[in-house]
């Protein structure tokens, strides 16, 4: 099951990284509108491309994990993406994380360990 944890952690890092890149892409948009010209203007926003590639890689890895491991063990481990996202929010976006969220992080990590062992 150690392999499941490693694979799931890589998948969670890809997933969280893709979400962070999507946030960067959205931060570059001045205003959102429903038009073809807006969509066309976003084709040069490389953060969208990076987010798509990263999220696509996370999806392919997730398909491999689902094929190889029981769903009852694999799916709960994806909660680690919440943990990764907290660190990304702190490091790259300068967000502060309250103590209650850290308690949640400990509960998530503990729960994932209990599920895969």
- Rounded Cα gap, residues 56 and 76, in angstroms: 20
Question: Which residue ranges make up each domain of the chain?
Answer: 2-116
Single pTM value for the model: 0.82
Pairwise CA distance, residues 47 & 14, whole Å = 14
Closest CA to 68 of 4, 18, 2: 4
Q: How far apart (Å, rounded) are the C-alpha atoms in residues 107 and 86?
A: 14
Per-residue pLDDT of the chain (117 residues; tens, 9 = 90+): 788 889 988 999 999 999 999 999 988 887 888 888 888 878 888 999 999 999 999 999 999 999 999 998 888 888 888 889 999 999 999 999 999 999 999 998 888 888 777
Q: How far is CA 5 from CA 66, 77, 105, 115, in A?
A: 13, 7, 16, 10
């Amino acid at each position: 099951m150690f392999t499941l944890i490693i694979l799931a952690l890589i998948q969670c890092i890809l997933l969280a990284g893709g979400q962070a890149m999507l946030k960067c892409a959205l931060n570059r948009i001045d205003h959102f509108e429903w038009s073809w010209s807006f969509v066309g203007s976003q084709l040069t926003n490389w953060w969208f491309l990076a987010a798509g590639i990263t999220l696509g890689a996370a999806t392919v890895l997730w398909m491999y994990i689902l094929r190889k491991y029981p769903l009852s063990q694999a799916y709960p481990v994806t909660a680690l993406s919440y943990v990764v996202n907290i660190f990304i929010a702190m490091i790259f976006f300068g967000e502060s994380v309250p103590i209650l969220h850290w308690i949640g992080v400990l509960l998530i990590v503990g729960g994932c360990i209990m599920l895969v062992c």
